């Protein structure tokens, strides 16, 4: 079935108030390409200013805590980011899993926190180069999908992003055959877990997506959009990815 493309950016720990000038052109591209859903995940300090600057653009958080409030110094909760103007959040990014020791159970709980507060979620899964070289890529990723899937998962608020860890920021991308095989395996796992609604859930690709390879990557089977890192920091690099997605609709 046809699913709307979603192109989401992840600024990571980059950006300041001056960088929000990039949001203007990105928001204009989102309006000019209405067949594509567009969002930008920004640092927590920029959620409010970004939303105020571009209220029609989906602004997201790059992470949330699983608990709504409490003694968790330095963390930010789902209701906090929603109040600031976020409409979605990214959970389970490989940099959180690897750098912060987040488990599938942690990711599941964070996604459930987003559901409680009416926020959309992009749930990330992916394998390391060692896992792929050992022939465990599909088992690793589908295992993450199963263990991270939140209660109440549904296509109306949840998307899954496949991000091969070895490709993120490396300039290297898997082959189209590898991406198609993994997205097909994810779709099969979603069908096992969610039944008919799995056909409507978007599965995004993330890992060194650029303007140059976007058309090829986004045109693959079961690729419903992209989670974009470095190329989302400037409109000059991000807008062509939005336009490539729109051209495929």
Active site (catalytic) residues = 93, 163
- What are phi and psi for residue 222, nearest 5 degrees? 65, 20
* Angle at the Cα of 79 from the Cα atoms of 199 and 84, rounded to 5 degrees: 100
Contact 157/115 with Cβ under 8 angstroms?
yes
Contact 125/148 with Cβ under 8 angstroms?
yes
Helices (H), the chain: 21-32, 44-53, 78-84, 94-100, 104-116, 129-133, 137-148, 176-194, 214-218, 235-247
The full DSSP string for 75-118 is --BHHHHHHHT-SEEEES-HHHHHHH---HHHHHHHHHHHHHTT
Inter-axis angle of helices 176-194 and 137-148, nearest 10: 30
């Amino acid at each position: 079935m046809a699913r709307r493309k979603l192109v989401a950016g992840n600024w990571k720990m980059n950006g300041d108030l001056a960088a929000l000038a990039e949001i203007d052109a990105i928001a204009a591209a989102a309006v000019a390409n209405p067949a594509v859903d567009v969002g930008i995940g920004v640092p927590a300090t920029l959620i409010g200013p970004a939303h105020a600057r571009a209220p029609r653009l989906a602004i997201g958080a790059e992470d949330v805590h699983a608990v709504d409030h409490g003694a968790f110094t330095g963390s930010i909760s789902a209701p906090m980011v929603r109040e600031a103007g976020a409409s979605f959040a990214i959970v389970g990014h490989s940099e959180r899993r690897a750098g912060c020791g987040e488990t599938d159970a942690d990711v599941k709980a964070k996604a459930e926190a987003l559901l409680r507060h009416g926020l959309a979620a992009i749930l990330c899964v992916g394998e390391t180069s060692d896992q792929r070289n050992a022939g465990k890529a599909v088992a690793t990723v589908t295992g993450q999908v199963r263990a991270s899937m939140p209660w109440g998962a549904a296509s109306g608020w949840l998307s899954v992003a496949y991000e091969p860890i070895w490709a993120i920021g490396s300039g290297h991308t898997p082959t189209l055959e590898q991406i198609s095989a993994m997205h097909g395996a994810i779709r099969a796992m979603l069908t096992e877990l969610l039944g008919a609604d799995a056909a409507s859930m978007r599965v995004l690709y993330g890992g060194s997506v650029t303007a140059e390879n976007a058309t090829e990557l986004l045109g693959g089977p079961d690729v419903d959009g992209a989670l974009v890192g470095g190329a989302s920091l400037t409109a000059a690099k991000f807008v062509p990815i939005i336009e490539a997605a729109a051209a495929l609709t």
